[in-house]
Amino acid sequence: MYGWVLYNYHQGESFEALTLLDVARERGGISGHGAYPELIEGGLMLSYGMTREARELFTRLLAETNASATDAPAGKGSPVTLEPEVLSQAWFYLGKVFYLEGDYAPAYENLMRVDEEVLEESEPGLYEEWLYLRARLAMKSDDFAGEPDSEVLVKRLLEQLSQSGPWAYYLRYNIAMAGIDAENFTEAQEYLRKLIADMGSETPEEVLLSEHRALLDKSRLSLARLYLRDARFDDALALLGTMPLDGVFSDRALFDYAVAAAGQGQMQRALDALDALSQRTLFLAWREQVPYARGYVFEQMNQPRKALTAFMQAAEHYEARGEELIAARQALTEDNLMARLSFLGDSNEIVTDAYGRLQVMPADFGLSEVLATESFQQALGELHELYQMQELLAQREEQLATFETMLETRRIQRERRIREARFELEQQQADDWAEAHASFRKDIEAALAGDNVGFFMTTEQKALKTRLDKVAATLEQLPDDQSTARQRETYTRMKAYFDWSVANDYAVNRWAAQKQLRELDREMELFLNQRAAIETLMAGDREHSELAGRLARKAAELQLLKNEVEDALALARSMLMGRLGEALEQQNSELRRYLVASRHAQARLADQLFRADSDAEAANE
C-alpha cells in the first residue's frame, strides 16, 4: 500500500495518494515505515491548502519523532528518528505556505524552527529561499526580526545570500520598494540602478531566464517611474527605451514612455507610443486610460479638433465597455467563467502546482488581474477539487449500482433454485414416509408391550408358519382315522418344533427388529433435519440480507457525502462568482470615472471651439 502511495505522490496524483492513506488507516495503518507515511500525508495536505491540518500533523509528528524519542505513540508502532534535514525541510515548507497565505505569525514561528546549518548543507536552494523569507518577514514587522533592529538583520541576511542568485535579486528589489514606501527615493533609486546593472551583466540558466528577464524589466520600470516622479524625463526615456516590446511589462513601459515623452515636450513620440499601445489586443483595467490620454496629448499638441475627436471616441469606447461589463456581470455564471479560462492539463487531469493551485491561463485577458490574486486562485482550486470529489462519488455510485444489479441477479437465481428444490421435495413424499415410520414404530412398540412372538418372526419362520397353517387346514378336512393318524402325528411334531424355534429365536428377532427401528429413526431424523435445513434456507437468505443491508448503508453514506459536496460546491460557486463580480464592478467604476472625464473634456473643447469659431465669425463681420 505504501508503495502505491509513494508512486501517486511522486506522479502528482495527490488525491489518489491521500485516498490510499485513508484506506490504509482504516485497515490498521502502514507498518514498517515509521512516521514517513504521515510526513507524506502532511505534504499532501499542504498541496491542497489544508495548512491548519498540516500544521497540527507536523507539530504532533515532529514532537513525537525527535532525536530523543523513546516511546512510540499509541497505535503507531515503533518510533522513528527522522533525519535532521527532513525535519528542517518540513518546518520550512510549512512556514512558506503560511507566508504565502499572509499568515505571518505562524510563518515566522515555523521558519525559526529550521536548523540553519543542516538546511544549508542539505538543500542550498531552500536555504537561500529561507533567508529571503526571513528577510521579508523582518521587513513586514520588527516582531518577526528576532532582534531590535530589523534593518540590520535584513542587510545581514542579504549578505548571506548569493549575490547573483534569484532570491538575492528579489530581496534587493523589495528593499528598494520598501524605500519608496518610506519615501527614501534617492536610496531606492540607487538600489534599483545597482540591481539593474548586476542583473544586466548576468546570463542565468535556461530555467530561470524568463523569471530573470521579468524581474529585470520590472526593476527598470520601477526606476523609470522614480525618474518620472523627479521630472527626469530624459533618463526615463533612455531607460524605458531599453525594455523589449514583447516583455511582460511592455504595455506599462509604453504608457510610461508616452508620459515621459509628453513631459519632455515630444508630443508626437507620446502619441506614437499611445497609438502603439491602443493597437494591442490584450485588455487590462489600467489600460483604459489610454483613449483618454490620446485626447490629452492632442490637446497638449494644440490640436483641439483632433483632441475633441479623440475624447469623443474615448467616451464612446468607455460607454461600450461599460455596457459590456454590465452585461457580463448580469450574465455572470460559472459556465461563462470557465469558458473564459484555459486550463493546462495532461492526459489524466488538470495540472496543479506544488501548492495545489491550478495551472490556468485566461482566454479573456480582462480576467488576468483577478486571476492572479491568491484568493481567486484558492477559490478556483477548491471548486476544481470539489468537482473531482463529485466525480469520484459518481463513480462510487455507479459501482454501488453494479452491486445492486449483482444482488438482484442473485435473488432471481435463488428463487429459481427454490422452485426446483420444492418440486424435488414434493416428489419425495416426505409426509408419507414420516407417516409410515410412525406406523412402524407404533406396531413394534405394541408387539413389545404384548410380547407378540409372532410379530418378530423372521421371513423364513413366517413362510413355515403359513405352510403349517395350510397343513392344519388340510388335516381338518380329512377324516380322523387310521389313515391320517400318521400325518397328524407328524404335523404335531413339526408344530411343536416350530413353536420351540420361534420361542427360542424371540430375543434375537426382537433385538434385530429394534435395531432396524433405531436405524430407521436415525435415517428419518437425518432426512427430516435436512428437509428442515432446506426449508430454512428457502425461507430466508441471511447472507443476501446482510449484503443488501451493507449496500443500503453505503448508499445512505454516499448520498450524505453527495449532499455535503453539493452544499460545498454551492458555497464555492458563490464565493468565486462574488469575487469576480466585485472585480467587474471595480472595473466598471474605473470606466465611469474615465467616461465622466472624457465627457467633461469633450464639453470643454467643444465650448472652446465654438467660442473660437464665434470670435472668428465676428472678426470677419
DSSP state of 243: S
For 180-236, how does the pLDDT look when each residue is reduced to its tens digit (9 = 90+)?
A: 988 888 999 998 999 899 888 887 777 678 888 888 899 999 999 999 898 898 999
Instruction: Locate the domains of the chain by residue range.
Output: 2-285, 286-421+560-621, 429-540
pLDDT at 193: 92
Q: What is the pLDDT of residue 81?
A: 58
Q: Which pLDDT tens digit goes with each residue over 456-496?
A: 788 888 888 888 888 888 888 888 777 788 888 888 888 88
CATH class given for the domain over 2-285: mainly alpha
Instruction: Tell me what pLDDT residue 77 has.
Output: 46
pLDDT of residue 222: 92
The mean predicted confidence, pLDDT, of the chain is: 79
Residue 32 backbone zone (phi > 0: left; psi -120 to 50: alpha; other: beta): left
> Quick one: which of 136, 149, 129 has its CA closest to 102?
136
508620459: which residue's cell? 259
pLDDT tens-digit map of 540-565: 777 878 888 888 888 899 899 889 88
| pLDDT at residue 145, as a whole number | 67
Task: Please state, in angstroms and rounded to a whole number, the distance separating the CA atoms of residues 486 and 498.
Answer: 18
Long-range contacts of 462-467 (CB under 8 A, 24+ apart): 464/498, 465/498, 465/502
Dig out the grid coordinates for 210 from the structure.
524568463
Identify the CA nearest to 198 among candidates 224, 156, 164. 164
* In contact, 92 and 119? CB cutoff 8 Å: yes
Whole-angstrom CA distances from 113 to 80, 83, 89 are 19, 15, 10
Q: What is the pLDDT of residue 74?
A: 43
- CB-based burial, 144-177: b 16+ in 10 Å, e otherwise: bbeeeebeebbeebbeebeeebbbbbbbbbbbbe
One-letter amino acid at 208 equals L
> Whole-angstrom distance between the N-terminal and C-terminal Cα of the chain?
101
| Beta-ladder partners of 360 | 343
Residues of the chain with pLDDT below 70 are 1, 12, 31-36, 46-49, 51-52, 62, 64-82, 145-148, 163-164, 207, 280-286, 331-377, 621
DSSP 327-388: HHHHT--HHHHHHTEEE-B-SSSB-B-TTS-B-EEESSGGGHHHHTSHHHHHHHHHHHHHHH
State the Cα–Cα distance between residues 95 and 293, nearest whole angstrom.
45
Residues 267 and 261: beta-carbon distance below 8 Å: yes
Q: What is the pLDDT of residue 345?
A: 44
Query: What string of DSSP letters covers 241-281?
Result: TTS-TTSTTHHHHHHHHHHHHHHTT-HHHHHHHHHHHHT--
Q: Are 211 and 166 in contact (CB under 8 A)?
A: yes
pLDDT for position 68: 44
Contact 25, 65 (CB under 8 A): no
Alpha helices, H only, 165-240: 166-181, 185-200, 209-229, 233-240
- Would you mind telling me the total number of residues written for the chain in this entry? 621
